[in-house]
Structure formats: C-alpha cells, structure tokens
Structure 1
Amino acid sequence: MAEQSALADLRRGDSEKPDAAVVRDALGVGVAVGLSGFAFGVTSAGSGLTLPQTCALSLLVFTGASQFALVGALATGGNPLTAAAGAFFLGVRNAFYGLRLSQLLALPRAVRPFAAQWVIDETTAVALAQPTRRSARIGFTVTGLTLYVLWNLTTLLGALGAQAIGDTRAWGLDAAGPAVFLALLAPMLRTTAERAVAGAAVVLGLGLLPVLPAGVPVLAAALAAPAVLFLEGRRAAANARGARTETVRKADETRGGDR
C-alpha cells in the first residue's frame, strides 16, 4: 500500500501546483463559506438558543448543514431528540470523507484527532482537487483553519446581532438558514441520481410536514436516497438484460447468415 501511494504521488507530481495558488484557492473557499456563519448565528438565536449554546454548536459540531438542521427543527417546535437525530444523520457523511482523506493526507497519528474536526464538505473538496499530497495537505489546513475561525467569529456576531434586533422573523432572517443550506447543497448535485434524491427528499419533507411532528419529516426525507438507488439499480439491471438480449439476437443473426 505504501509503494502504491508513493507511485501515485510521483505520477501526480508531474502536474505540481504552486503553494501560493493552493493557499489562494483555499482562502477563497474558507472566507466565502465562513461568512455564512453569521446566518447560522442569527437563525440559532432566533430559534431560542442562548448565546453560549449557539457558539458551542459552532465550536464543537462545526458542520453547517447539521447545525442548520438542528436549529431549524427546534425553531418549529420539534423534539430536541428528533432534531439531534436529523443533525446526526446529516453529519454522518463526514465520516466517509474521513476515510478518503486519511489515505490522501496520511497525517501523523497524533494529528488525526485534531484534523478530524475539520473534515467537512469544503475541506474535502479543496483537498481532493489538489494534484499532490503536499498541496492537498496545504489546501485542507488553510481551508479548515480559515473556515473554522471565520465561522465561529461570524456565528458570535450573528447571535449578538439577532439579540439586538429582537424577533428575527419580523425581518425575514429566519429564512437565512435554509437559504444558505440550499446555496451550499445545490452545487453538489451533479448527477441525475443526486438531483432525483434531492427532489424526492423535498417532496417527502414538504408532503409529510402537515401530518408529522416537527423534525420527523426531515428524517423521513432520508428515505429518498435508498428509494432512488433501488430504482437506479432496477433500471441498470434492465438495461443490462436488454443489452445481453440484443447481443444474443445479433449473434443468432450472424450464425444464420453464415449458414
């Protein structure tokens, strides 16, 4: 495994990327997304969480989608356990990112527990986009550090601002969280299957909203993923059978022509 990893790095070394370019790209992502922590601070404070609770979520959880899901469910009167479950399931994806990044970054064991806190969508995207292990480490570190500092700072400012302006719903700021979440999610929907999952999840979530307790429709919307994957598997199997049937038919025609 070590030899294969070393060979992969050597092959990628032909397209070395300057460190300055990696830092510039990482800073761009970190600053752009980090500023949206202000929206989370406003949304969290508007949902009834205190300033320490809001800041603790950003410091300890540090995954925007899960944080927005949690405070969004609480804001609509959802059960705290249900809200936490929805946030947990959204955060599980970071564990899969970690499996990939552990091979790519190959960080020392002593550093891994601290680096794990920064394994999120943005740091993973920046790291995977780099041509070498060195640039991947730089991209991951700069993105993680920039985003972590800015996200927590703007969370604090957003929560303080929400307390100063009073009812965030009167200003329409309760929509800030969902809007930022959609802005982060939309660019990730690249394939037809991903768009189908997103569409089905929206239909499930909105359709069940009037009949289920707050927070539960979010969990039910997760059923969209296995449903779409099942249908995709059925379609792929049908296409494979059709291709085999066509191959056999052409083979029979060829043999008949030879006779």
Structure 2
Amino acid sequence: MAEQTHIRAAAPEPSARPDAAVVRDALGVGVAVGLSGFAFGVTSAGSGLTLLQTCALSLLVFTGASQFALVGALAAGGNPLMAAAGAFFLGVRNAFYGLRLSQLLRLPRAVRPLAAHWVIDETSAVALAQPDRRAARLGFTVTGLSLYVLWNLTTLLGALGAAALGDPGAWGLDAAGPAVFLALLAPMLRTTAERATAGLAVVLALVCHPLLPAGVPVLVAALAAPVVLALHGRRTGRGDSARGGAVSERAAGDHKEGER
C-alpha cells in the first residue's frame, strides 16, 4: 500500500496550457482549413448545384470530406442516392468523435445539440490534444467557431466566383478539400492496424473507381476497416494462445523440477 501511495504521489500531473497557446493553435487550424471552403464552393457550383444548395450544404452538413464526396460524385455523373450514401458514410465518423468528446468536454445539456454540429475532424483533434478539460473546451470552441464562420464565408465566395474561374479541375481546386483531409488524417495513423486500414482502403478505392459508379468506391473502401480488424484480432488471438502455451510449459517444467 505504501509503495502504491508513493507511486501515485510521484506521478507527474499534466500541466495546464496557457489560454493564449490554446487559442493560437485553434485559430491556426480554423483559419487554415476554413479557407479551403473556397475550393468547395467552386467545386460545388461547377458540379451543377445552385448557390443556395451549395451554401446550405456548408451551413447544415459542415463536414468537408462528406461535402466534397457528395459534389464530386454528382459531378462525375453518379446517382444522387449513391452520392448521398457515400457522403453519409463518411460523416458517420463524427458520431464516434462525439462519444469521446462527450466524456472529455462534459458540456451543459442545453448547449450539446449546438456543439454536436461542430464535432468534426479538426475540432476533435484540437480538443483531444489538450491536457485538461478547460483547455479542451476552449480549443473546441475556438476551432469550431472560427472554422464554421470562415468555411461558410469562403463557400459563398467560391460559389459566387465559380463562373469567373471556370473548370475547378483545371485549377486543382477539386482536390484541395481531400488533400486537407488527408493531411489532417495522416499524423493520426500511428499503429500498424491503422496504417493497414488506410492502405487497404486506398487500394480498394483505386481498383473500384474505373469499375463502379461514382460514389460506390467510397462505400467499398469502408470494408477495409472490418477486414483489418478481423485479421488483427485473429493474429492477436494466436499470439495470446502461443504465449499462454509457453507459460503453461514453463509452469509444468517448474513443477517437475520442484518434485525432483
């Protein structure tokens, strides 16, 4: 008991970050990603959506990868239902972010529905990087507010200027949103299983792209997660069984030596 008390007392507590540092990081993410809303506005207008539809997507959906997936599938001539299904599937990840953030932030019940609209990749990354709840709340709020305002403003500007810019593909704007999403996702792939899932998803999407209608390859790529999880679980189970067998053999050997 004394050793446990000593260990707990010696464990260093996470130091609180200054508010200025949290705000600086949150604004950096919010501004950098928010400016890519211009690319979405241009791409959406170029795919045939009206100004009202484009702005409504940013105001109500507000998750960049899903928005780009939807307008990209529509621009490629995909079925609207399949395009919406692909966008919806990409947006489901935010529900899992919400499960973790609800425990971390513990916001008042009255503001939770509003905060849920800001649960996206960027706000989750900034909040989860903070050492304590107060800093996490501040980072989440500043990132969400700055990104929401800028994303919708630049979406409007992009949609209004789409006619003057012409084909978004000629400027590479149709790839700006996915590139930002991948840049945020790449540092989060730390384990072998996570890298394997991402790699298999890329392979499935590339293979299916010329074979299946627009929007469907995204759904097929999602199969990478259960496949890798199943293989990883089977490998882990075999490793545990092997370790358990080795322990049993050593225990049996020790028992025989004791009898001697």
Residue 122, structure 1, aligned to residue 117, structure 2: no
Partner residue of 2:160?
160
Instruction: Give me the identity figure in percent.
Output: 78
Equivalent residue letter for 1:194: E
Matches of 2:192 and 2:178 in 1, distance apart? 23
Q: Does 1:73 align with 2:73?
A: yes
Tell me by how many angstroms 1:14 deviates.
6.2
Deviations 1:16-37 (CA, angstroms, capped at 9, x unpaired): 2222222112111111111121
TM-score (norm 2): 0.89
1:200-243 deviations in whole A, cap 9, x for unaligned?
Answer: 11111111222222211111111110000000000000100110
Name the stretch that deviates more: 83-92 or 126-135: 126-135
- Map residues 196-211 of structure 1 onto 2, 5 A cutoff: 196-211=196-211
The 1-side partners of 2:36 and 2:17 are apart by 29
SS at match of 2:109: coil
Shift of the alpha carbon at 1:180? Answer: 2.8
Query: Residues 225 and 167 (structure 1 numbering): CA distance in 2 closer, same or farther, change over 3 Å?
Result: same
Q: Using the alignment, how far apart are the partners of 2:159 and 2:205 within structure 1?
A: 28
Instruction: Supply the distance in 2 between the matched residues of 1:142 and 1:13 (Cα, whole angstroms).
Output: 25
CA distance in structure 1 between the partners assigned to 2:172 and 2:185 by the alignment: 21
Secondary structure of the 1:110 match is: helix
The amino acid that maps onto 1:139 is: G
Match of 1:179 in 2: 179
Return the letter of the residue paired with 1:253.
Answer: G
Q: Say if 1:128 and 1:136, in contact at 8 Å, map to a contact too.
A: yes
Q: Which runs of 5+ in 2 are unaligned?
A: 1-10
Deviation of residue 174 (structure 1)? 3.0
Give the TM-score normalised by the residue count of structure 1.
0.89
Letter in 1 for 2:85: A
Q: Give the aligned partner of residue 61 of structure 2.
A: 61
Displacement of 1:13:
7.8
What residue number does 1:237 align with? 237
> Any conservation in 2 of the 1:13–1:131 contact (CA below 8 Å)?
no
Where does residue 41 of structure 1 map in the other structure?
41
Deviations 1:121-175 (A, max 9, x none): 1111212222222222111111110010111111122222322122223334333
- CA 1:147–1:13: 2 relative to 1, 3 Å: farther
Is 1:217 the counterpart of 2:227? The answer is: no
Q: 1:14 to 1:186 in 2, by over 3 A?
A: closer
Partners of 2:134 and 2:233 lie apart in 1 by: 38
Secondary structure at 1:213 match in 2: coil
| Aligned twin of 2:31 | 31
Partners of 2:39 and 2:158 within 8 A in 1: yes
Change in CA separation of 1:127 and 1:215 when aligned onto 2, cut-off 3 Å: same
Deviates more, 1:123-132 or 1:231-240: 123-132
Unaligned runs of 5+ in 1: 1-10
Q: Partners in 1 of 2:105 and 2:243 — Cα distance?
A: 41
